[in-house]
């Protein structure tokens, strides 16, 4: 399986996309990127029968995450595989693409939230980003939004990719639950970096009116 997967990845290599992707993920070596577009990776991920292949390339790590999301597995096995997978996350793209693939969470929210808390409390950059992006994707709803938004608001981190994720999540929550997010911005409860990033993200949204965007601009620090 390992060599077959790698062979298939190189068959689908796009060198121009590799160069483009390398610029988007500057914190990992270009040598670790084959250059396979995400839609093609997803097609491969949906055909995987097991995860007995290597972790060397960016795309291989991505496929390990896709396997967890796409394969028909019991929840306990998915969680065990996530414990193996999460330490390999070392860039925003793997984190975010895989999080959006973990659709099984929607049917297991209470149990998965118990599992997620260890990553929420972690001091590792991509552990926390993983937690934030999962909460953003699956827990900004009428049941869990108070919990999720409170977590985002109280993040105090020196990690850029954690702060950017928190701002992104707050901007998503703002669209549906403005009353939960706006007071934190107005009262200055966010760190300066998350505060300004959140305002920028909200102002980029097509789902926020011009008047609100103008008001938020005046709240930048």
Question: CA 40, 45, 47, 52: dihedral to nearest 10 degrees?
Answer: 130
**In this predicted structure, what is the pLDDT of residue 37?**
98
Mean pLDDT score, 37-57: 96
**In this predicted structure, what is the pLDDT of residue 3?**
65
State the Cα–Cα distance between residues 102 and 214, nearest whole angstrom.
36
Give me the chain's average pLDDT, please.
Answer: 97
Predicted TM-score of the model (pTM): 0.96
Q: Quick one: tokens of 101?
A: 């693939």
**In this predicted structure, what is the pLDDT of residue 214?**
97
Question: What share of the chain has pLDDT > 90, as a percent?
Answer: 99
Residue 169 pLDDT > 70: yes
Per-residue model confidence as pLDDT tens digits over 21-40 = 999 999 999 999 999 999 99
**In this predicted structure, what is the pLDDT of residue 96?**
98
**In this predicted structure, what is the pLDDT of residue 116?**
98
**In this predicted structure, what is the pLDDT of residue 185?**
98
Please name the residue that has the structure tokens 């984190």. 95
State the Cα–Cα distance between residues 69 and 82, nearest whole angstrom.
10
Per-residue model confidence as pLDDT tens digits over 124-136 = 999 999 999 999 9
Taking a C-beta distance cutoff of 8 angstroms, is the pair 149, 180 a contact? yes
Residue 165 pLDDT > 90: yes
- DSSP assignment of 94-159 equals HHHHHHTT-GGGGG-HHHHHHHHHHHHT-SSHHHHHHHHHHHHHH--STTTHHHHHHHHHT---S-
Residues 6+ apart with CB under 8 A from 36: 9, 12, 13, 14, 17, 44, 59
1 pLDDT tier (thresholds 50, 70, 90): low
**In this predicted structure, what is the pLDDT of residue 2?**
59
State the Cα–Cα distance between residues 12 and 146, nearest whole angstrom.
43
**In this predicted structure, what is the pLDDT of residue 122?**
98
**In this predicted structure, what is the pLDDT of residue 220?**
96
Taking a C-beta distance cutoff of 8 angstroms, is the pair 198, 185 a contact? yes
Per-residue model confidence as pLDDT tens digits over 71-120 = 999 999 999 999 999 999 999 999 999 999 999 999 999 999 999 999 99
**In this predicted structure, what is the pLDDT of residue 139?**
98
Please name the residue that has the structure tokens 């997967």. 5
State the Cα–Cα distance between residues 162 and 120, nearest whole angstrom.
11
Residue 159 pLDDT > 80: yes
């Amino acid at each position: 399986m390992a060599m077959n997967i790698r062979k298939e990845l190189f068959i689908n290599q796009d060198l121009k996309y590799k160069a483009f992707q390398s610029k988007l993920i500057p914190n990992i070596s270009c040598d670790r990127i084959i250059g396979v577009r995400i839609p093609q990776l997803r097609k491969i991920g949906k055909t995987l029968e097991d995860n007995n292949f290597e972790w060397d390339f960016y795309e291989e790590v991505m496929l390990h995450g896709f396997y967890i999301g796409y394969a028909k597995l019991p929840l306990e096995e998915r969680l065990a595989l996530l414990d193996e997978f999460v330490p390999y996350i070392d860039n925003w793209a793997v984190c975010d693409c895989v999080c959006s693939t973990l659709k099984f969470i929607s049917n297991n929210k209470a149990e998965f939230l118990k599992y997620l808390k260890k990553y929420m409390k972690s001091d590792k950059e991509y552990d926390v980003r993983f937690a934030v992006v999962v909460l953003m994707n699956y827990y900004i709803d009428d049941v869990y939004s108070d919990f999720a938004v409170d977590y985002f608001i109280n993040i105090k981190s020196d990690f850029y990719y954690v702060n950017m994720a928190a701002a992104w999540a707050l901007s998503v929550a703002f669209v549906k639950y403005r009353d939960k997010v706006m007071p934190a911005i107005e009262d200055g409860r966010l760190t300066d970096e998350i505060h300004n990033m959140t305002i920028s993200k909200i102002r980029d949204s097509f789902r926020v009116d011009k008047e609100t965007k103008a008001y938020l601009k005046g709240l930048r620090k």
